[in-house]
Structures are given as structure tokens and as C-alpha cells.
């Protein structure tokens, strides 16, 4: 269960102070959901494809979208009546909102300049049409005032909420048996997805794990099985490890922690509302929903990571680097968050697509195409 505990800042506060980025909202209308005549029932991947087409066609009049998994409908935020009609004509739900994507992105830049406080995270939330800032339990006193003051200056654009936990990366240093556990430099992390790079087998995990050790094994103190080829943290949070034995079978699957595995055949971009699962060496298999995109998290000590996927999936130390997936699609690598799998909390993930693009790695060939969902992204 998500342990956010109340909204601190809402709409109706003064405009930005002198020197901050101006965020004009002239001619903006209050949030007002439209009632479509006949929205289509869509799978998650089909909704993502339609959303990409619609947002491309609508340009600056589109203001984000999300997938309503319960109703199996695509919801597209728009700024005017003509755009709403075009959305409904394509079988999606149109929702007229106040804030444009450009204004929301500008708000995130202001937060980066004015409220870079350890223990905070923020992302654009298409459901509320605002930037939602999460402040963990360590953010108090003057630091909390810094965050709330920055939000107050952005009337109707930013909401501040509290997280009951503490944002941290999810690397662990205790030994624990498990097929998906990897050990290195006194740390325990989790393997994400097997990949192929330059014809050689390897795997992805978290960058803060890759920074902790150059060599990784499947047992605490055991013979190394892989060597870090590249690692990015902070900024991003991914590492590419190549297997020391080039004959290791290049197959990609996720341990479901019950003796079975989920084959991974493709890569999918996350979307708000997407149902996902996470597999990690500490807490096994967990499930939840994507709640935000392009999230920025400040773990403290200058460790700021951007471009993350925000979820309500739980995780704990040792789960870092583990696979987040949706069906047969690779979606993310576990980065960090707050809470645990008893009380809940927020967890953030590095998008797999960005890690593959940066490293030149690919999923192993031969997985095939998911029925009705299209082929691989990469």
C-alpha cells in the first residue's frame, strides 16, 4: 500500500518570484473530464501506440496521457475542444485540462534549480495534470520549507506530498540465496535482463551496483561470472555486465520466484497506469502500477537520477537492478525508493530502453512477438 500521507501544497498560491522561470497560464481552463460517445477497449501496448499517434498529431495541444487499466481505455489530456473531439474520434477518452506539457516541464526545471533537496522526488502526473513532489520522512525544517516554498510559487502546477519512508538505493550487503542474486564488493544486488552486446552475452543491472564492484558472482565470495563493462550512476542508474564465459546461453527470462520463469521477448516503454511486476533477490515477485514518468529522485550526497519510472511497487535492499516487466516485455531496472514490502512505498526504475540505447546492447534474438501487441521496440 502506498504510504503517502497528505497533500501540503495545492493550487491557489502566488505566482513565481522574480528570477524564476515564468510559467504563463493565460486562457487556461479548469480541469474538466469529457464524456466520450464510444471509447475503444484497448490493450496496454495498443493504447500506447494510439497515444503516440494522437500526441504527435495534436502537438502542443496534447498535455499527457495515461492508461486506465481497469476500464482498458486510453485517456488523453488536451487543452481545447477541437483536440478533445479529435481524440474521441479515434476512440480514446478526452480530458480537457489546465496545464500544458510545456508548463509542467518548465515546473520540473524550476524544482531542479530551487528545490534540489536530498530525500525528494518529482514527476509529471497526467492523472492530476500537475507535477507531484514526494518528500520523504528525512525532509524536515528548512529543507521542507525550501520544497514547499518552491511549489507555492507555481500556482496550480505543483503538489507536494509526503512519503512515510526514506528514499535510498536498493543495494544490500547481506548474503541471501536466490537464482537472481548477484554479489560483488560486499554488496548484493539483482540481475535485471540478459542481453547481447557485440555478439557476447551479458546482463543489465543497476548503475549504483555496477559502481560498487567491477566483478560479480552468483554466490557471496564465489567465483566471478561477469565483469562490468559500463556503469552510469548518478544521472542515470544502469550497468552493463558481460559474462566472463562467452559460451553462456544468451536467453532472457525473469525468475517468478515459484520455480517458473517469464520469457522476455521485447522491450516496452512505460506508461502511467501500466500494470507491472518486479522480481528481486530480497522480496521476490511484487506487482503494482506505473504512477509517473520522467521522475527525478535525489538520494542525497549528490546522487540525483533523472528520467526514472515511478511506481507503487514495493522493493527492499538487495532488489536493486532487478527486473520490472509487463507480460513478456522488459520495462525497467530497480533503482531505489522508500518503504518496504510490509508497509509499501514508492519505487523508481531505470527505463530498460534507455539502458539498451546507451550501451548498444540488445535483448537476445528468438523470443518472438507477443500476440496482438506488436514486435520488439529495439
* Catalytically annotated residues: 208, 237, 320
**Residue 351: alpha-carbon gap to chain centroid:** 6
- Which letter, b or e, does each residue of 364-378 get, where b requires 16 or more Cβ atoms within 10 Å of its Cβ? beebeebeebeebee
**Residue 157: alpha-carbon gap to chain centroid:** 21
The SS3 assignment for 76 reads strand
- How far apart are the C-alpha atoms of 293 and 313, rounded to whole Å? 14
Neighbours of 74 (CB within 10 A): 29
> What H or E segment, with its residue span, contains residue 150?
helix 141-152
Mention every residue, 6+ apart, whose C-beta is less than 8 A from residue 372.
Answer: 43, 45, 46
Q: Torsions phi, psi of 33, nearest 5? A: -65, 140
Cis peptide before 13 (omega within 30 of 0): no
Which residues is 310 bridged to in the sheet?
292, 348
- Dihedral of CA atoms 229, 236, 283, 288 in degrees, nearest 10, equals -130
> What H or E segment, with its residue span, contains residue 127?
none
Amino acid at each position: 500500500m502506498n504510504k503517502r500521507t497528505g497533500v501540503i501544497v495545492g493550487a491557489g498560491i502566488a505566482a513565481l518570484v522574480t528570477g524564476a522561470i515564468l510559467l504563463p497560464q493565460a486562457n487556461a481552463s479548469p480541469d474538466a473530464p469529457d464524456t466520450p460517445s464510444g471509447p475503444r477497449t484497448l490493450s496496454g501496448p495498443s493504447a500506447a501506440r494510439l497515444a503516440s499517434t494522437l500526441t504527435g498529431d495534436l502537438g502542443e495541444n496534447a498535455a499527457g496521457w495515461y492508461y486506465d487499466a481497469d476500464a482498458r481505455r486510453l485517456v488523453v489530456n488536451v487543452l481545447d475542444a477541437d483536440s478533445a473531439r479529435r481524440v474521441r474520434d479515434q476512440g480514446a477518452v478526452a480530458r480537457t485540462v489546465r496545464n500544458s506539457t510545456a508548463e509542467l516541464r518548465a515546473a520540473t526545471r524550476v524544482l531542479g534549480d530551487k528545490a534540489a533537496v536530498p530525500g525528494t522526488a518529482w514527476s509529471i502526473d497526467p492523472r492530476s495534470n500537475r507535477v507531484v513532489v514526494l518528500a520523504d520522512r528525512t525532509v524536515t525544517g528548512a529543507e521542507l520549507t525550501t520544497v514547499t516554498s518552491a511549489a507555492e510559487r507555481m500556482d496550480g502546477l505543483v503538489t507536494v506530498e509526503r512519503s512515510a519512508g526514506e528514499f535510498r538505493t536498493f543495494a544490500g550487503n547481506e548474503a541471501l540465496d536466490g537464482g537472481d542474486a548477484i554479489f560483488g564488493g560486499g554488496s548484493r544486488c539483482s540481475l535485471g535482463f540478459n542481453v547481447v552486446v557485440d555478439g557476447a552475452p551479458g546482463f543489465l543491472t543497476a548503475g549504483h551496483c555496477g559502481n560498487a564492484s567491477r566483478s560479480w558472482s552468483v554466490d557471496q565470495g564465489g567465483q566471478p561470472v561477469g565483469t562490468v563493462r559500463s556503469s552510469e550512476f548518478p544521472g542515470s542508474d544502469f550497468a552493463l555486465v558481460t559474462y566472463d564465459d562467452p559460451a553462456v546461453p544468451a536467453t532472457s527470462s525473469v525468475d517468478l520466484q515459484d520455480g517458473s520463469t517469464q520469457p522476455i521477448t521485447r522491450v516496452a516503454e512505460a506508461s502511467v497506469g501500466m500494470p507491472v511486476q518486479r522480481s528481486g533477490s530480497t522480496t521476490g515477485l511484487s506487482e503494482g502500477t506505473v504512477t509517473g514518468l520522467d521522475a527525478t529522485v535525489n538520494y542525497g550526497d549528490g546522487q540525483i537520477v533523472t528520467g526514472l519510472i515511478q511506481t507503487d511497487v514495493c522493493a527492499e535492499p538487495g532488489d536493486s537492478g532487478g527486473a520490472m516487466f509487463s507480460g513478456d516485455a522488459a520495462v525497467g531496472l530497480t533503482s531505489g525508493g522508500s518503504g518496504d514490502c510490509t508497509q509499501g512505498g514508492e519505487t523508481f526504475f531505470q527505463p530498460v530502453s534507455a539502458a539498451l540505447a546507451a550501451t548498444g546492447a540488445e535483448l537476445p534474438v528468438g523470443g518472438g512477438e507477443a500476440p496482438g501487441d506488436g514486435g520488439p521496440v529495439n
